[in-house]
Amino acid sequence: MADRILSDFEISYIKQGVLADMRSDGRSCRDYRSFELRSGIVSNTSGSAEIKLERTNILVGVKAEIGQPNPLNPNKGRIEFFVDCSALASPKFEGRRGEDLGRNLAHRLSDLYENSNCIDLESLSIIPGQDCWIIYVDALVLEYSGGVLDCLSIAVKGALANTKIPKLTVIGEGEEQEIEISDNPFDSTSIDTNNVPVFVSLSLIGNQFIVDASHEEEACSLCQLSVGVNHKGSICSILKEGAGSFKHRQYNEAISLASEIGVSVIEKITLTNNTAPEKML
């Protein structure tokens, strides 16, 4: 994901800073930057959220629609992710170049949600084998300056927590079942997002893993570890990206650091959700 070209002096400055546990912006290797998460900002969606972390800005909208379940899992609903890295986020996304990154990010998210069983998909089923709720999560990267995967996962968690799904009743039996959606717009259920994990990315600079790398730090990192962590500190997913390699000890320290950071980030999100004003229709 690194696209900034740094001079040798800049790279050496960053590496020495990391060694001394004093990064360019004064943080230690374990400090996360503060981010701003607002939910319920887009009115014609079932749920939405926006995250701002320094120069990275991502907007997520969620829509719930009725459709057919996956034949492999006829009793479960579905979640589909789509990430749009448009050209306005960064000049390197001009034309279709942002598509690859968008597809990659969407794939990482769907991998995480599928394999950590964080959302009760069975509750999204309406008529098993025939109809279910399909949750479409669309993310728009408005501004890109590194740390995109982390921010994306936080914004998606915020948007899902904010999502309202209309209540419905199933009338009839057997082949003649029909769905009736409640007329009252306030009559809705929400999705339980307590177990939903977030990504914590760690970058390897020199011999040390650092949390929440800035754009410049990402550019001189040898490799990245992105770890999915849930509110209990359990590890839901690990992927190493980039061409570098590391030792056991560094890996173990990184994972335990990610676990701690993940828990504190999720605490912050929950705090934001609880204090955010309810969107008035």
Return residues touching another protein (CB under 8 A): 71-73, 103-104, 107, 111, 114-117, 223, 225, 230, 232-248, 251-252, 255-256, 258-259
Q: Which is nearer to another protein, 115 or 190 (CB)?
A: 115
Side chain identity, residue 76: K
Shortest Cβ 147–another protein spacing (Å):
20
Helix (H, G, I), strand (E, B) or coil at 221: coil
CB of 267: closest distance to another protein in angstroms?
18
Nearer to another protein, 122 or 180 (CB): 122
- Which residues does residue 184 pair with via DSSP β-bridges, in sequence order? none
C-beta separation of 29 from 211 below 8 A? yes
CB of residue 76 to another protein, shortest distance in Å: 9
> Tokens at residue 201, please?
């990315």
Distance of CA 110 to the CA centre of its chain: 10
HSE, side-chain direction, 13 A CA sphere, residue 55: 9
Q: For residues 21 and 15, is the Cβ–Cβ distance under 8 A?
A: no
- Which is nearest to 201 in space by CA: 2, 24, 6? 2
Supply the minimum distance, in Å, between the C-beta of residue 98 and another protein: 15
Smallest gap, in angstroms, from Cβ of residue 273 to another protein?
23
Which residue's CB is nearer to another protein, number 215 or number 231?
231
Nearest to 216 by CA among 20, 61, 25: 25
Q: Are 109 and 166 in contact (CB under 8 A)?
A: no
Nearer to another protein, 70 or 189 (CB): 70
Whichever of 78 and 164 has its CB closer to another protein, that residue is 78
